[in-house]
Amino acid sequence: MMTKLSDIRILNYAANIIIPIFRFCIFVKIMIVLTSTIFMERPVENLDWVIGVLMGSMLVLAISKTLFTNNFHALGNLEQFLEVNDNQQIFALLNQFLFAALLGALCVPYLTQDYDYIFDRPIYKVLAISVIMVLFFWGKSLFSAVSAFAFKISYNNPLNLKISSYYRFYSVAILWVSVLLFYFAGLPRFPIFVACIVILIILRALQFVYRMKNQEAELRQNWYYNILYLCALEILPLLVLYKFLTIW
């Protein structure tokens, strides 16, 4: 009897791994058909690296859904998502990498060619931007913790991590669609880029508003912390990104 139960558990576990991979393969086939029929004819430029980024991100999401089933089931409700304690740190780290890679893919055409002797392929630029952004995320978390300690504010890191993961997942979805339209839809690229950035800013603002509502008493007493947070961690990164895109 125990052997049968063990075999059933093994089969269920194997099914939980095989089915998402099978769905991913079907999705890849559908995307190949879409890019060859619905969208306009493919440009002369080699965009295999873009397909690699899109398919790689979908593969990571398929694996993530298998490993963090509870997180994905709760994505439709933020309050329910905050109650899930299913390896949130790893889930947040995967979202950070996906966000950085997709945003890097979207920014590649606007980067200068002065450093092409180092980054002679677009995928190398994507990797460079991804590393910089992930390091920025980590530095931002460290700065938030240090600032909270300096201003004697109780910093609920698990709560902030969950809130960031929730909104960043939707940011990843927006970026994925934006990259697809940006390179393959045959539409003007710059409006798509601007629309994507605006939506990301709105999502970020919603995240900040929610965080303020949940820490309203502390933040009202420490209004200078809010100003520091907005200037150092929200406005400054946008200025740095703009400078990075115009000077690089």
Quote the pLDDT of residue 170: 93
Quick one: pLDDT band at residue 158, thresholds 50, 70, 90? confident
- The pLDDT of 92-104, averaged and rounded, is 91
Whether 136 and 96 have beta carbons less than 8 Å apart is answered as no
In the chain, how long is the greatest CA-to-CA distance? 68
d(CA 154, CA 144): 11
- The pLDDT of 44-71, averaged and rounded, is 85
Report in angstroms the alpha-carbon separations of 207 from 167, 200, 220: 7, 11, 17
d(CA 26, CA 57): 15
Task: Give φ, ψ of 153 to 5 degrees.
Answer: -110, 135
Quote the pLDDT of residue 174: 94
- The pLDDT of 72-100, averaged and rounded, is 85
Mean pLDDT of the chain: 75
Q: At what angle do helices 88-107 and 157-184 cross, to 10 degrees?
A: 30
- The pLDDT of 216-240, averaged and rounded, is 59
- The pLDDT of 123-144, averaged and rounded, is 81
pLDDT above 70: percentage of residues in the chain: 59
Q: Which amino acid is at 152?
A: K
Q: At what angle do helices 122-150 and 88-107 cross, to 10 degrees?
A: 130
Gyration radius (Cα) of the chain, Å: 21
Quote the pLDDT of residue 109: 84
Q: Hey, CA dihedral for 120, 126, 131, 136, is it positive or negative?
A: positive
Name the least confident of 56-65, 74-83, 164-173: 74-83
* 123-128: long-range pairs with CB below 8 Å, 24+: 123/49, 123/52, 123/53, 126/49, 126/53, 126/101, 128/104
Please report where in the chains the tokens 């392929």 appear, as a residue: 121
Q: How far apart are the first and last CA of the chain?
A: 66
Q: Assess whether pLDDT exceeds 70 at residue 101.
A: yes
Q: Assess whether pLDDT exceeds 90 at residue 133.
A: no
d(CA 245, CA 133): 13
d(CA 191, CA 89): 34
Instruction: Output the CA angle 204-135-69, nearest 5 degrees.
Output: 60
Q: Which helix (H) or strand (E) holds 101?
A: helix 88-107
pLDDT, tens digit (0-9, with 9 covering 90-100), for 209-221? 787 776 655 555 5
d(CA 142, CA 135): 11
